[in-house]
Chains A and B, each alone.
Chain A
Amino acid sequence: METLERILAEHQFFKDLAEPYLQLATGCASNIRFEPDQFIFREGEEADQFYLIRQGRVALQIFAPDRGAITIETLTEGDILGWSWLIPPYNWHFDARALEVTRAIALDGKCLRRKCEEDHNLGYELLKRFAHIIEQRLESTRLQILDIYGVRS
């Protein structure tokens, strides 16, 4: 557990989080490994975890009958995967699939949610951190939509 706590403490997401909260997060954390093409979660399933990717590559996908699986974004080492556990009704909106052997730390969302409700200071800290990630994803999604490399005709 000591190693896990250190890994969390060094990660950008948990940076400067107060010691008790860090211990609390570590208590909800576990190591996990995904094989190539293994689904980490599927659209519609209950979202009760999020992942801190330590190694590997994960594709966020959506399946369309006429186009097959479309990759929206890939996440790699250092990225945080999943925020649906934080927002009701706590269901995944996309599929997440490991593209290669992927090692991650899974954090128990249910457990964290409960603790956030009990301690709003912790809740605010985590929301701030997720807001930052959501902002980044939104910005890059906007750039993707712009289709900046396309040629207008």
Chain B
Amino acid sequence: MASAVDLHVKSPDDIVSSMSPHLYGIQRVRKETEDTFTLELQEKSGQHKLSFAPGQFNMVYVFGVGEVPISISGDPASPVLVHTTRAVGTVTRVMSKLRRGDMLGIRGPFGTAWPVAEARGHDVVIVAGGIGLAPLRPSLYEVLSHREDFGKVVLLYGTRTPSDILFREELEQWRARFDLEVHVTVDRADSGWRGNVGVVTTLIHKAPFDPQRTVAMVCGPEVMMRFAALELVKRGVSAGAISLSMERNMKCGIGLCGHCQFGPFFVCKDGPVFRYSRIKDLLTKWEI
């Protein structure tokens, strides 16, 4: 390791240190569905303390291949860094083939967080679509670890088919809890599926929560989030009590490369978690 440099003697926020990845080793790979997987990572040198808030993301680097933003899907209280992602591009496809003992570069955590602290004393409604459950899981962990501080807690989760359901075992455990209302639905299913069929937004109008005292967190494809927000508003949840997590192209994660612009916002630093009230008008504009 003689050639390794400590770049952190410089200002912690300068471009060299903030663009240089920290080395993390893969401890465990878990295949979630046909095209999604979860990586559990541990920092190698012990120099990088990664504490994150639910909703934040890291830039994850595969040596020589490239770097992509991936939300953190693990427990904020755990020392293990957990990322769940879908193999859809060059970098994530290579990542999906990595095994225990392989290493990745990590920069982060970046971006805004879900308003978990603000939700204390309120009902919490989490609406997730597809891989959108991954960035919401840390907030659910945090809520469940202080369960008595919250009112009703509802998780509404939709996927394309039953085989696309993420975190299956955990969902079963959550469903078995009396202090957590979990509803899962799929867009399409064969007759072997005994659960709900229909888009996730259809679950909102009958979910048990008090709209006047609810904090809602929504993550999924943009169209799904728009309609989910509309349903929540229809129920009486105010636009300011609804948060969405936006996705845009990101190259730097630190607000300098310009790629993630969404109207006047940089999704990497002003987001990814936004109040619905703040971005409502932008969401309906084409190609913003």
Contact = CB atoms under 8 A, between A and B. Distances in A.
A/B touching: CB–CB < 8 A:
yes
Tell which of A99, A146, A149 has the most Cβ of chain B within 10 Å: A149
A150 B193 CA distance: 20
Nearest to B159: A149
**Most chain A beta-carbon contacts within 10 A, residue among B158, B199, B220, B224:** B199
B206 A78 contact: yes
Contacts, number: 74
Interface stretch (A44-52, A63-71, A120-128): A63-71
A148 B164 CA distance: 13
B130 interface: yes
B191 A76 contact: no
A95 B182 CA distance: 27
Interface residues of B, number: 32
A144 to B, nearest CB: 5
Contacts of A148: 129-130, 220-221, 223-224
B86 to A, nearest CB: 8
B190 interface: yes
B151 interface: no
Interface of B: 35, 86, 88, 129-131, 158-160, 164, 185, 187-191, 193-199, 201-202, 205-206, 220-221, 223-224, 227
18 contacts: A59-B197, A67-B190, A68-B190, A70-B190, A71-B191, A74-B185, A74-B197, A74-B198, A78-B206, A99-B194, A136-B202, A143-B201, A146-B223, A148-B223, A148-B224, A149-B131, A149-B158, A151-B88
A139 B204 CA distance: 14
A117 interface: no
A72 B187 CA distance: 8
Contact of B224 (A72, A74, A143): A143
